[in-house]
Amino acid sequence: MGSDNSSIEWRVEPGLTDYAYAESVMTGRAEAIAQGEAREMVWLLEHPPLYTAGTSAIAAELLDQRFPVHMTGRGGRYTYHGPGQRIGYVMVDLNLRGRDIRRYVHALEEWVIAALERLDLHAFRAPGRVGIWTMDDGVEAKVGAIGVRVKRWVTLHGFAVNISPDLGHFDGIIPCGLPDFAVTSLQKLGKNTQITAFDSALAAEFTRFLDRVSLSMQNEA
């Protein structure tokens, strides 16, 4: 039987959402979830152009501060957010679904990969490199970033998938601290995909994502 997702709020934000505002809302919601005062939530949005620095960020990897830089509590290093990129902030309670952070991160990656497969884009995980990868002109390139934080066993942050952003904006950083790997997008790969189509693909694969997250809990039952 698939996991019950009927109690999880699915919210799609129109337009561009200020990063500081989004982080404030996300943090407050996660705290409320931990206290049993709010439902779990998946929040899909886009940000205006900006860079974020994760807990492992190295100053030398910020090459050109052309956009605002936000320090954040998620894992990882520098990444870019901007129009044409689908951001997914995922706030689920691992107290209810299994306290296994590694399994959660893998499930998040597999969820995005499965959604991209529905859009006829083959993507994959790469050993030793967190994120979503695909082939671009015969070489591996990153099409999606993963960055999470877990507080009181409630997850924060999530994923960023490049649908049709300006890839030149990534030139101001060494994305995720990986100078030897390019960043790509569905648009660059010849996929004329709307963000709404990607949202629909995510929704179609959401129950399987919850099943993967909850697998450790099922094994303990």
Residues carrying an active site annotation: 176
CA 203 remoteness from chain centre = 14
Question: d(Cα 67, Cα 52) in Å, to the nearest integer?
Answer: 10
Is the C-alpha dihedral spanning 198, 200, 204, 209 positive or negative?
A: positive
Q: Which two tokens stand for residue 78?
A: 């520098």
If DSSP codes are grouped into helix, strand and coil, which group holds residue 142? strand
Degrees (nearest 5) of the Cα angle 60, 62, 64? 125
List of E strands, the chain: 9-16, 41-46, 50-53, 69-71, 78-81, 85-91, 124-126, 129-136, 139-151, 154-162, 182-183
Question: d(Cα 206, Cα 107) in Å, to the nearest integer?
Answer: 10
Let me know: does 206 contact 5? Beta carbons within 8 Å.
Answer: yes
